[in-house]
Amino acid sequence: MFMRIDRLQIELPTPEEADPNAAAALQELLGGKYGEMSTLSNYLFQSFNFRSKSKLRPFYSLVANITAEELGHVELVSNGVALLNNGPPEEDDTADGGDISGAPYEAMKDVRLAAAFFSNAGGAMPMNSNGASWNMDFVTTTGNVIMDLLHNFHLECGARLHKLRVYETLTDPTGREVCGYLLVRGGVHAHAYALAIKKLTGVAIENMLPVPNINLDKIPESQKYLEEGSHRRLYRFSTDDYKEMAGIWGKGEKALPGDPPGELEVVDGPPDGGKIPELEGAPSAFTPDYAPEEMFEIASKLYKKSR
Amino acid sequence: MFMRIDRLQIELPTPEEADPNAAAALQELLGGKYGEMSTLSNYLFQSFNFRSKSKLRPFYSLVANITAEELGHVELVSNGVALLNNGPPEEDDTADGGDISGAPYEAMKDVRLAAAFFSNAGGAMPMNSNGASWNMDFVTTTGNVIMDLLHNFHLECGARLHKLRVYETLTDPTGREVCGYLLVRGGVHAHAYALAIKKLTGVAIENMLPVPNINLDKIPESQKYLEEGSHRRLYRFSTDDYKEMAGIWGKGEKALPGDPPGELEVVDGPPDGGKIPELEGAPSAFTPDYAPEEMFEIASKLYKKSR
Amino acid sequence: MFMRIDRLQIELPTPEEADPNAAAALQELLGGKYGEMSTLSNYLFQSFNFRSKSKLRPFYSLVANITAEELGHVELVSNGVALLNNGPPEEDDTADGGDISGAPYEAMKDVRLAAAFFSNAGGAMPMNSNGASWNMDFVTTTGNVIMDLLHNFHLECGARLHKLRVYETLTDPTGREVCGYLLVRGGVHAHAYALAIKKLTGVAIENMLPVPNINLDKIPESQKYLEEGSHRRLYRFSTDDYKEMAGIWGKGEKALPGDPPGELEVVDGPPDGGKIPELEGAPSAFTPDYAPEEMFEIASKLYKKSR
Amino acid sequence: MFMRIDRLQIELPTPEEADPNAAAALQELLGGKYGEMSTLSNYLFQSFNFRSKSKLRPFYSLVANITAEELGHVELVSNGVALLNNGPPEEDDTADGGDISGAPYEAMKDVRLAAAFFSNAGGAMPMNSNGASWNMDFVTTTGNVIMDLLHNFHLECGARLHKLRVYETLTDPTGREVCGYLLVRGGVHAHAYALAIKKLTGVAIENMLPVPNINLDKIPESQKYLEEGSHRRLYRFSTDDYKEMAGIWGKGEKALPGDPPGELEVVDGPPDGGKIPELEGAPSAFTPDYAPEEMFEIASKLYKKSR
Amino acid sequence: MFMRIDRLQIELPTPEEADPNAAAALQELLGGKYGEMSTLSNYLFQSFNFRSKSKLRPFYSLVANITAEELGHVELVSNGVALLNNGPPEEDDTADGGDISGAPYEAMKDVRLAAAFFSNAGGAMPMNSNGASWNMDFVTTTGNVIMDLLHNFHLECGARLHKLRVYETLTDPTGREVCGYLLVRGGVHAHAYALAIKKLTGVAIENMLPVPNINLDKIPESQKYLEEGSHRRLYRFSTDDYKEMAGIWGKGEKALPGDPPGELEVVDGPPDGGKIPELEGAPSAFTPDYAPEEMFEIASKLYKKSR
Amino acid sequence: MFMRIDRLQIELPTPEEADPNAAAALQELLGGKYGEMSTLSNYLFQSFNFRSKSKLRPFYSLVANITAEELGHVELVSNGVALLNNGPPEEDDTADGGDISGAPYEAMKDVRLAAAFFSNAGGAMPMNSNGASWNMDFVTTTGNVIMDLLHNFHLECGARLHKLRVYETLTDPTGREVCGYLLVRGGVHAHAYALAIKKLTGVAIENMLPVPNINLDKIPESQKYLEEGSHRRLYRFSTDDYKEMAGIWGKGEKALPGDPPGELEVVDGPPDGGKIPELEGAPSAFTPDYAPEEMFEIASKLYKKSR
């Protein structure tokens, strides 16, 4: 089972302006082959299909727990996409009596993924930066523990490469913050799978890291997370379970050479995180709907009733 | 953010025998158009993309909270699939010195979705009962609250229909239990979205329920859940959040006519649930791997280290 | 614009028994690369996108008119699929008080395309015999008249080959009748496109026919259609339009050598056709719904009101 | 069976200039999840697969008849796409001896859906505004009448939302006219399915309309259709059949509150419609082909022969 | 079996500047329905599945041999795509100590197929100009020799049309050279399949050529290939095999009317070809990787060891 | 460029009987995520897109050369599929006057992938064992050498796992021979990529092999290939090129522990291989066509002309 907390894993800055093509770029990190839908779904289905869970508990716990973090990554990138598509809060003067007949969204027909406006009003979707759907071809769950861990290690390396490239195309602080944070966390996951492989096979595959061969000190947006030691922490996203992963990620294991030094640690519970961004409605795009006042009033009454 | 609990939403009975075609049938409830991947992903992305969250809090909370329950439904069906594919625990005499050259899995080439053995060793995948991948064409997130709620209501009705039909093909208790439980919970979600629509539009759309027109007293496996009142409960899958949905599902609202009577209620926290099933390894299928003893021993040492 | 007539192009025999795998075979002729969805959609979009319609009127008329016949082919194969999936009318004793808890549809989990039961209750869908969706990769509309006609000629040859192979797997009279008729009509379309190509290029491409190299006198179910001269007739599926195609298919042109001799002719209006089959409801599969009496009564009243 | 009339449902204005990105926007209304290919195919396959047709005649007739109108909608949007891609008639001086070596279509490599030029010369295709193919994942045909009608109601609401958003991006009169008309007709279909649901379930679901919550008096291009009462009319696209739908849409039922008042009526026969637009050939793009004179001359002779 | 030669079929000019949208256009010729992946895969699988190879040797040899040439076409277009995406060699000052934090690839978020940068660093992929994947729906292999040859003839005509249109959008010499050469070779293949059809059916289908109706004397980039007689040559891409195709393409057969005259001939062995282009690494895009010097040094040592 | 040799990489035994479900199983090794189409296409596009080829020559040569071997693997599996679908040569008494009206292929409607008969007459296609198409989602080409090599290593491990499982379902010698050989060759490729990674990163990743953890001495069909040393050989599929890969795979490197010992070596030229299987025509399935005698006679004359 899963529980939900109404917080993002980090606080996201407000975008400076709407930039649908930047949002489309960020979609690569959501629904691309090496995006968060892929990391999430690989680990989710691997954890469901895991064999001999009781006998391989530390390995099962590692995969099962990272799954929960990936849900939050999907949430984080999705919020980034929605923010970049919609930009900072704006007055929408077409609401309630305004005139929508003057092609108020003419600009939308020229953005790279125009269907994101027509179908989703700029919301995030499980697709890549070319608009191609995420699908099960991106999921590997073989039941063979070595094969699955090796796959996951390669997946996190691929994810890091794509995050770096997306980062290099973005100027808006919202998208850059998403990348800066996920680069740190993706590094943790690559490191963790490497350690799991080493425990089982003896191959010191973590010595290959980082892939690509660039340290995160080159990425300004990653610094505050490195400083707080995020690269050494595996959050345990569970009240009571998955403690056994500390057998793999824990005492005696060190941060990778290019990162700030220190010992690896399992942290009980999620990070503090940041607030879920408020997406302003755009009545002229029928979100939450044209002439929303009545809707807000109903909600206000129901809210009072719920308390 | 999301947290994880190492429990299923219910206790699943052990299957009587391996039945890959029954597992394939259950896949419809996982990756079909009206399957759990669809309900999960619709609500997940709708919650990310929700407009005017603060002003429409009860509606946002409803969608966001049901998302968390759906994650557990994906988990439940997936475990059902894996159990039905693999059957009850068996001795695998090909491990460690056994002979795999005699086509020990000859039967697998004739099962409906043979790739489920080749690629996934009988694990669950996000695909339907014909092996077609789940994809974003099954996701509706428009930013328009009425449209999204109406979609969700129709989605839950479709899900109920498909669950009934899958149920009618299954004889094994594992698959039937999955259906019996999900029929009750799907009914709750359809009812909840109907109430949300009624609050906003005044249309008493819940009077259309049940769709299809059959009460759950016809389904033996649903009875214990009806008796405990599951059909009147919306679990709040969060420690602190989403309480506002009680403005929609709560005091003053009653169970639907064909179900045991009583008042609707929001229950704080998840159901007790049942244990995660142990999937035995099948060394001859290289799960967790051929000759697993060394692997188990390593895991055992790491487990001790983690305590 | 299009008008509809509540008749099939031919009278279909009632199936002798339900045979979902035969229905699945027939799906190849509906949603396969060379199926009726493909012939329909190629000609439909070619007719929309046709250049210099007024100057190339006979060619435009030919394509536009055959489109209308193909709609009826899609209808014919779809009805064949639904009949074969459902079999002859049967008593369904689970309606109104019956018991559905005994896995009444257990057999459905082992049919080749089980999702056709779960999702469609045995109805037809735009997919091929492996359950793969029809899609736009099967549509060619280039705006180049020679290229499009050449494509269409090849398409009809491919369709004939696939119809012959599907026919060779069927024993039930329903499916065989569908094939027997469509083989004759497909032959007409191949011949018509060949003549169009010959008019424009001088190449007597119709001399290549039939592809494959087998005459329809080998197919018993085709005989009555050959006897009535269907192979020499292009039906004009329009009250007033498309008469210009008679410049291509008409006086002076003869039937192909292996078929009964005679002159080609444009026939004004559709064939007499046969009645639309009645698909019995199966209340236990929730079609039209569980306990249908009330529904029938409402319909009966509305019917009276409509007169 | 289906008949064809060589007329569009309305007269379309000539586009002011070629605007391939506007054409791409309009593709959302053709091949998107809520586009005309979806409405057409849902009703088409539902009508084929309809159970107990004779006992539920008014409902069957409604679905079967609207199918025929949707064919005309697919035609209308497709013509709109082709017009917007190609723009007003122009002299093409590369024909017959002109020079094509100077990259005459350089601009085409930068349009959003460049393959629409390469493959289709600007013709319409069954794809959405991102170039993703329409496919069977967009078709719901369950055999359960309530479920299918509920689906159709939600589908028409979704279609209305997407039409409004596409409209808001277009400045050219051709695309705006397509939207203005289809908004009226889509409203009729949503209303009709609502009434059908109300007859069967008693739920006054039409009170939810319009979704989104905006009346068509805000859309200038819809006015002439509202004035002629199109929003109160269900055209019967058949010479002899489908009269029974008047039991659902007819005497005693009124126009929706926000629209011009009046009684609902079934109109026998199609609307007058407008002429099929002539798409000029572009010899430099090999449509109908390079150096078309000979082709036109052949066609002219065949035309004479056909009279 | 297949052997490889480290040469392109022609020498490609260096591009004048990076033009990702031109590269995207060229992708139509790689992964479009009528692109090189399609011609390759059709002939590849037809050659594997060919029936009665020994009795139909000249036809088998023709298909099997052209397959090998198509591999080189896939290679040629792919190199063209990579060159156009990356442009002429440039200094990359972010390598080794440079700063990548200033969005050095900001321009990439606005190119048509941005995923080509994120995932492939501008490399070629088996997709079309809209980013849609090549797939098996583009493969026809029926086992019927006439049907397959007819399909291949139509395929080469379609390929020629698309090559002409892509050519008309390109200004850079790299892409134009690719088109100029492939137009000549595609003409040879269309002609060859036409002759094969004529031998078997007696239909002089080559008289329909060229499709579209434009001779290659209109394409400056094709002239040098016409002058060397490439349009009359079928290269035998094998040391010892496939000589039997000379029964179809050879003595007594002439070049098509619009091309320079001469007799058709089978040439033993491949064309001289040109050098494989060197794609410069872009360390800032992590190709071959950030800070490549160490990598180059390792390779240099291994190179010496290999000699 | 590529050359072709009319030989398979090994001699395949004739199948004992037609077994379409076994052929369908083998399709997993052709078009599955870890099948030969994937290995081929990954290395093919990586070799096209390789950066700094001249400076990283040993690595480029390794990838480019293995590509050529993979083409032969695609050919080998495809021939295996076609043989298993069609079985040993048989008299087909429906040819030339025989009767095809008695449903001679009734059995085909019940095989797992019936479309393989309808569309391909039992020929191979680029799809997996569930009939899902191979597509570009299975291709990774990032331009980053470490990432691509790591991907390739994981891909070969996955391929080995899937080959083992397919092998375990097959009883016919044809399919088992295909698996037995490819297991040896896949082992070579995994080992080769491991060595390449080790040279660049220092990580002894080959110590992880074999994945899964089973030596090939358990597979009888692999023995003759192990005995001839195939596991120590990298064939150089080129007359003059790719010699530099000997810097990675060559002197000083040893066979993996579980395999027969010896030094690794590059062998110049392809293996001897075996003859291409003759697939008998089945006139009743219209291959090469109904009544093939005339076709054979034409071919015989053309063959004589070619000598």
pLDDT in tens, E241-269: 999 999 999 989 999 999 999 999 999 99
CB proximity under 8 Å: C 178-217 to E: 197, 201-205, 207-208, 211-213
Residues F190-219: what's their mean pLDDT? 97
Measured CA to CA in angstroms, residue C71 lies from C66, D12, D70 at distances of 9, 25, 13
This model's pTM is above 0.90: yes
Q: Which residues contact F20 (CB under 8 A, 6 or more apart)?
A: F84, F85, F108, F111, F112, F113, F116, F117, F122
Nearest to F270 by CA among F101, F103, F68: F68
Rounded Cα distance between B191 and F248, Å, is 65
Count of CB atoms situated within 10 Å of the CB of F17: 10
- D286 in E contact zone (CB under 8 Å): yes
**D107 contacts chain B (CB < 8 A):** no
CB contact under 8 A, A21 and E285: no
Q: How many Å apart are CA F71 and CA A54, to the nearest integer?
A: 43
Predicted pLDDT of residue D89:
86
Q: What is the mean pLDDT of residues B144-169?
A: 98
F30 min Cα distance to partner chain B (Å) = 12
Q: Which residues of F touch A153 (CB under 8 A)?
A: 150
Rounded CA-CA distance D295/C201 in Å is: 9
Q: Do chains B and E touch (3 or more CB pairs under 8 A)?
A: no
pLDDT at E94: 64
Judge contact between F136 and E134, C-beta under 8 A.
Answer: yes
% residues pLDDT > 70 (chain B): 98
Among C16, C21, C110, C129, most F C-beta atoms within 10 A, so best to mutate, is C129
DSSP 3-state of B32: coil
- Asked if D121 is an interface residue toward chain C (Cβ–Cβ < 8 A), one would say yes
Cβ within 8 Å of A, B 215-254: 237-248, 250-251
Cα B307 to Cα A211, A250, A251, B304, C140, distances in angstroms: 32, 11, 12, 6, 65
Give the minimum alpha-carbon distance from A216 to chain B in angstroms, rounded to a whole number: 25
Interface test with A, best of F208, F211, F214, F256 (most A CBs within 10 A): F208
Q: How far apart are CA F116 and CA F118, in angstroms?
A: 6
Instruction: Report the neighbours of D using a cutoff of 3 or more CB pairs below 8 angstroms.
Output: A, B, C, E
* Percent share of chain B, pLDDT over 90: 94
Q: What's the confidence (pLDDT) of residue D94?
A: 63
C-alpha span between C306 and E85 (Å, rounded)? 65
* Chain F residues touching B136 at Cβ < 8 A: none
Chains F and E touch (3+ CB pairs under 8 A): yes
The answer to whether F163 and F183 have CB atoms below 8 angstroms apart is yes
User: Which residues lie below 8 Å from residue D29, measured CB to CB, with a gap of 6+?
Assistant: D35, D36, D77, D159, D162, D163, D166, D178, D179, D182
CB-neighbour burial class of residue C15 (10 A; exposed 0-12, middle 13-18, buried 19+): buried
Choose among C2, C48, C286: nearest Cβ to D78.
Answer: C48
Closest by Cβ to A158, choosing from F33, F147, F161: F147
What residue in E sits closest to D116 (Cα-Cα)? E130
Q: Which residue among D34, D169, D212 sits closest to A109, beta carbon to beta carbon? A: D169
CA gap C158, C193 in Å, rounded: 14
Identify any residues that bridge with C7 across adjacent strands, giving them in sequence order. C275
Cβ separation of A151 and F158 shorter than 8 Å?
yes
Tell me the nearest-neighbour CA distance from A213 into chain B, angstroms.
30
φ, ψ (nearest 5 deg) of residue F95:
-65, 145
pLDDT tens profile F144-177: 999 999 999 999 999 999 999 999 999 999 999 9
Helix/strand/coil for A196: helix
Mean pLDDT rounded to a whole number for chain F: 96
- What 3-state DSSP class applies to E8? strand
How far is CA C18 from each of CA C85, F47, F110, rounded to the nearest angstrom? 5, 53, 14
Interface mutation vs chain E, best among D117, D118, D134, D286, most E CBs within 10 Å:
D118
Quote the minimal CA–CA distance from B131 to chain F in Å.
7
Tokens for C267, please give them. Answer: 């026939």
pLDDT of residue D93: 61
Q: What is the ipTM of this complex?
A: 0.98
Say whether residue A260 is in contact with chain E using an 8 A CB cutoff: no
Size of interface E-F (CB pairs under 8 A): 328
Cβ-based neighbours of C78, under 8 Å, separated by 6 or more: C30, C123, C124, D45, D48, D49
Interface mutation target, options D21, D36, D168, D209, chain A, most CBs of A under 10 Å: D168
Average pLDDT value for chain B: 96
Query: In the predicted model, is pLDDT for residue B185 greater than 90?
Result: yes
What local confidence, expressed as pLDDT, does residue D90 receive?
Answer: 80
Residues of E in contact with D291 (CB under 8 A): 213-214
D272 close to C (CB below 8 A): no
| Chain E contact for C161 (CB, 8 A cutoff) | yes
Burial E52-74 (b: 16+ CB within 10 A, else e): bbebbbbbbbbbbbbbbbbbbbb
Non-local CB neighbours of B149 within 8 Å, separated by 6+ positions:
B59, B193, B196, B197, B200
- B133–chain C Cβ distance below 8 A for any pair: no
Three-state SS string across chain C, please? CEEECCEECCCCCCCCCCCHHHHHHHHHHHHCCCCHHHHHHHHHHHHHHCECCCCCHHHHHHHHHHHHHHHHHHHHHHHHHHHHHHCCCCCCCCCCCCCCCCCCCHHHHHCCCCHHHHHHCCCCCCECCCCCECEHHHCCCCCCHHHHHHHHHHHHHHHHHHHHHHHCCCCCHHHHHHHHHHHHHHHHHHHHHHHHHHHHHCCCHHHHCCCCCCCHHHCHHHHHHHHCCHHHEEEECCCCCCHHHHHCCCCCCECCCCCCCCECEEEEECCCCEECCCECCEHHHCECCCCCHHHHHHHHHHHHHHC
Contact F131 B133 (CB under 8 A): no
Residues in chain D with CB shorter than 8 Å from the CB of C4 are: 1-3, 64-65, 67-68, 237-238, 241-242
Q: Roughly what angle, to the nearest 10 degrees, separates helices B173-201 and B145-167?
A: 160
Would you tell me which residues 31-90 of chain E have a C-beta closer than 8 angstroms to some C-beta of chain F?
31, 41, 44-45, 48-59, 64-65, 67-68, 71-72, 74-75, 78-79, 82
Residue ranges in chain A modelled with pLDDT below 70: 93-97
Residues of chain C with pLDDT under 50: none
With 60 as the cut, is the pLDDT of residue D96 above it? no
Q: How far is E64 from chain C (nearest CA, A)?
A: 22
What is the share, in percent, of chain F residues with pLDDT greater than 70? 98
pLDDT digits over C241-299, tens only? 999 999 999 989 999 999 999 999 999 999 999 999 999 999 999 999 998 999 999 99
Q: How confident is the model at residue F97 (pLDDT cuts 50, 70, 90)?
A: low
- Which residues on F lie below 8 Å from C25 (Cβ)? 108-109, 114, 118
pLDDT for the residue numbered A307:
84
The answer to whether C121 contacts B165, with C-beta atoms less than 8 Å apart, is yes
Residue B97 has pLDDT above 70, yes or no: no
In whole angstroms, give the CA distance from residue C105 to residue C116.
13
**Which string of DSSP letters, residue by residue, matches B139-168?**
----S-HHHHHHHHHHHHHHHHHHHHHHHT
Q: Which parts of chain E have pLDDT scores under 70? A: 93-97
Candidates D105, D186, D132, D107; CA nearest to D24 is D132
